[in-house]
Amino acid sequence: MGIRTGAQYIEGVKSRQPEVWLGGRKVTDVYNEDVFRQPIHEIANLYDIQNDPTYKDEITYLCEESGERYSHAFKVPKTYEDLKARSKLFEIWARATFGLMGRTPDFLNVTVTSMASNTWFLDQYNPEWSKNMINYYEYIRDHDLFLTHAIINPQNDRSKASHEQEEDFTHLGVVEERPDGIIVRGAKMLATLAPITDEVIIYSFPGFQPGDEKHAIAFALPIDTPGLRIICREPMQDGKRSVFDHPLASRYEEMDALLVFNDVFVPSDRIFINQNIEAANLLYPKTGIGQQPAHQSGVRGLIKLQFAAEVAARVADSIGVDGYLNVQTQLGELMQSVEAIRALLRVAEYEYETTSQGEVRPAGLPLETIRGMLPKLYPRAIEIIQTIGAGGLLMSPTGADFEHPELRADVEKYYVGREGISSQDRVQLFKLAWDLCGEAFGQRLLQYERYYSGDPLRRLGRFYAGFKRQNSFPLVDEALKGSRDLEGQPTI
């Protein structure tokens, strides 16, 4: 079939009946649920963009073998140009949501592409698993599917392994093996956008310990598989808030959910890892499934940071405070943050690595540096918007106030900005800024940037340890040589 349109994606959503729970209620019609309506349309827009002649040739490719057109997310990058083509896809899609939606279809599509182009890894354990992975990749590519994923065990007792949790099968695991598949029970988190996706893929960040065998699994299923329950967090919007009052929150909320598997059957051909701790723990570090989606996160994160920086600058300009040195230094800091991430991204792409399988990946060091820096730079950007907007962020009247004949004159007078900025312009800008830096919606966006790639603290610690393994800090040896005499003795 090849690339889908927005309408085809929506048809898919309407055709399914996943078991979705929202605020103590079972959702019977996902498409017509207020909270999901706008996000569904934002995702549909992305599918439409790939059919738009302005972008089509840039972000999709014609496969010679099948004669079909697929998204660049499904092309295994073999050259720098392939990597750049992917980067363009990430950028065009991220711009469409200002980088505020992180788990758009490209994220997991590149992950699965990466799994399928590294089946040497699964082959070591079971050739059936790698065959299943290749078939699954072709299936989602041919149908252009949208996946959610849950790779973290629920946050119960982090000081204990999965098999040591108070109750058995709190963490997802295999309860029964059958000739034609496995039955799984337990929970996994944190499946962003789950209710409006086509499929779910389960794998794990490393961390399984001896005794966790039954939990060490990877598989994929249709999102409406019987027994799979999607428990949504409390929505931050009701789906009815006005675009004037909440220009971002009313459009880009990504729902997050806990997935509960109530004895769900996984057919053999959808199993990628079955009860193998080593395979489950090494899948992430040994294949490209860290680096390739991190490329998407880097490009998207850059757009989001740039957006936040622009909002800060426009807020400052609109109230005439960007001539003050303290405000200028904060804005300058933000512009430099954006430049730093942009430069790292370019280095990651330009200094790409080629694996022994011929797959091209963005360079690890600059990519990991982005992962380390964004969880600090984005919260700082939000803090700067809060600092510059100050009390004004809390003062905005509503769209309804503008429309009320008794109030109109007041709101048009008392909310004006510097010369040339009308009351409505300023209020709209401040509402947008508040969605980003004050609303629960904005706090989630911040939490996303901190945690989407795992715990940033442990990541940074691992980064240093890995850096040390590969670097002997030779400059210090060079410098120390200078303080020794010709016989190598210290000069005092």
Ligand X SMILES: O=C(O)Cc1ccc(O)c(O)c1
Would you tell me which residues interact with ligand FAD (CB under 6 A)?
103, 149-152, 155, 158, 190-192, 256, 444, 447-448, 451-452, 454-455, 457-458
Nearer to ligand X, 330 or 453 (CB): 453
Nearer to ligand X, 324 or 451 (CB): 451
**Count of C-beta atoms within a 10 Å radius of residue 68:** 15
> Minimum Å distance from CB 26 to ligand FAD?
22
Burial class (CB in 10 A: 0-12, 13-18, 19+), 450: middle
Under DSSP, is residue 153 helix (H, G, I), strand (E, B) or coil? coil
Residue 295's nearest CA partner among 347, 356, 336, 337 is 347
Which residues of the chain form contacts with ligand X (CB under 6 A)? Answer: 111, 149, 151, 290, 293-294, 297, 371, 452-453
Q: What amino acid occupies position 395?
A: M
What lies within 8 Å, CB to CB, of 193 at 6+ separation is: 39, 43, 103, 146, 148, 254, 255
- Angle value at C-alpha 62, between 56 and 65, nearest 5 degrees: 165
What lies within 8 Å, CB to CB, of 477 at 6+ separation is: none
> Minimum Å distance from CB 108 to ligand X?
8
Residue 118's nearest CA partner among 286, 270, 278 is 286
Of these partners, ligand FAD, ligand X, none, which one is at the site of residue 79 (CB under 5 to 8 Å by kind)?
Answer: none
Of these partners, ligand X, ligand FAD, none, which one is at the site of residue 297 (CB under 5 to 8 Å by kind)?
Answer: ligand X
> Minimum Å distance from CB 158 to ligand FAD?
5
| Cα–Cα dist 413/458, whole Å | 52
> Minimum Å distance from CB 151 to ligand X?
5
Of these partners, ligand X, ligand FAD, none, which one is at the site of residue 97 (CB under 5 to 8 Å by kind)?
Answer: none
Nearer to ligand X, 111 or 274 (CB): 111
> Minimum Å distance from CB 223 to ligand FAD?
13
Contact by Cβ (8 Å): 461, 115: no
Contact by Cβ (8 Å): 87, 71: no
> Minimum Å distance from CB 192 to ligand FAD?
3
- What is the residue whose two structure tokens read 């040591």? 164
Of these partners, ligand FAD, ligand X, none, which one is at the site of residue 455 (CB under 5 to 8 Å by kind)?
Answer: ligand FAD
Nearer to ligand FAD, 155 or 471 (CB): 155
Nearer to ligand FAD, 154 or 181 (CB): 154
* Cα-to-chain-centroid distance, residue 38: 19
Nearer to ligand FAD, 190 or 309 (CB): 190
Nearer to ligand FAD, 92 or 108 (CB): 108
Task: Check the CA dihedral 65-69-70-72 and report its sign.
Answer: positive
Of these partners, ligand FAD, ligand X, none, which one is at the site of residue 60 (CB under 5 to 8 Å by kind)?
Answer: none
- What is the residue whose two structure tokens read 């598949």? 181
> Minimum Å distance from CB 72 to ligand X?
18
Of these partners, ligand FAD, ligand X, none, which one is at the site of residue 451 (CB under 5 to 8 Å by kind)?
Answer: ligand FAD
Residue 285 phi, psi (nearest 5) = -70, -25
Of these partners, ligand X, ligand FAD, none, which one is at the site of residue 444 (CB under 5 to 8 Å by kind)?
Answer: ligand FAD
Contact by Cβ (8 Å): 277, 200: no
Contact by Cβ (8 Å): 344, 366: yes
Q: Which H or E run contains 285?
A: helix 277-286
Contact by Cβ (8 Å): 252, 46: no
Of these partners, ligand X, ligand FAD, none, which one is at the site of residue 371 (CB under 5 to 8 Å by kind)?
Answer: ligand X
> Minimum Å distance from CB 291 to ligand X?
7
Residue nearest ligand FAD, Cβ-based: 192
> Minimum Å distance from CB 348 to ligand FAD?
21
Nearer to ligand FAD, 254 or 317 (CB): 254
Nearer to ligand FAD, 202 or 338 (CB): 202
> Minimum Å distance from CB 315 to ligand X?
30
| Cα–Cα dist 271/141, whole Å | 18
Contact by Cβ (8 Å): 161, 281: no
Nearer to ligand FAD, 127 or 461 (CB): 461
Nearer to ligand FAD, 360 or 373 (CB): 373
Task: Check the CA dihedral 140-143-145-150 and report its sign.
Answer: negative
Residue 76 phi, psi (nearest 5) = -70, 120
Of these partners, ligand X, ligand FAD, none, which one is at the site of residue 49 (CB under 5 to 8 Å by kind)?
Answer: none
Nearer to ligand FAD, 15 or 447 (CB): 447
Of these partners, ligand FAD, ligand X, none, which one is at the site of residue 305 (CB under 5 to 8 Å by kind)?
Answer: none
> Minimum Å distance from CB 61 to ligand FAD?
27
**DSSP string for 317-376:** HHTT-TTSHHHHHHHHHHHHHHHHHHHHHHHHHHT-EE-TTS-EE--HHHHHHHHHHHHH
> Minimum Å distance from CB 414 to ligand X?
46
| Cα–Cα dist 457/410, whole Å | 49
Residue 359's nearest CA partner among 147, 120, 131 is 120
Of these partners, ligand X, ligand FAD, none, which one is at the site of residue 458 (CB under 5 to 8 Å by kind)?
Answer: ligand FAD
Of these partners, ligand FAD, ligand X, none, which one is at the site of residue 294 (CB under 5 to 8 Å by kind)?
Answer: ligand X
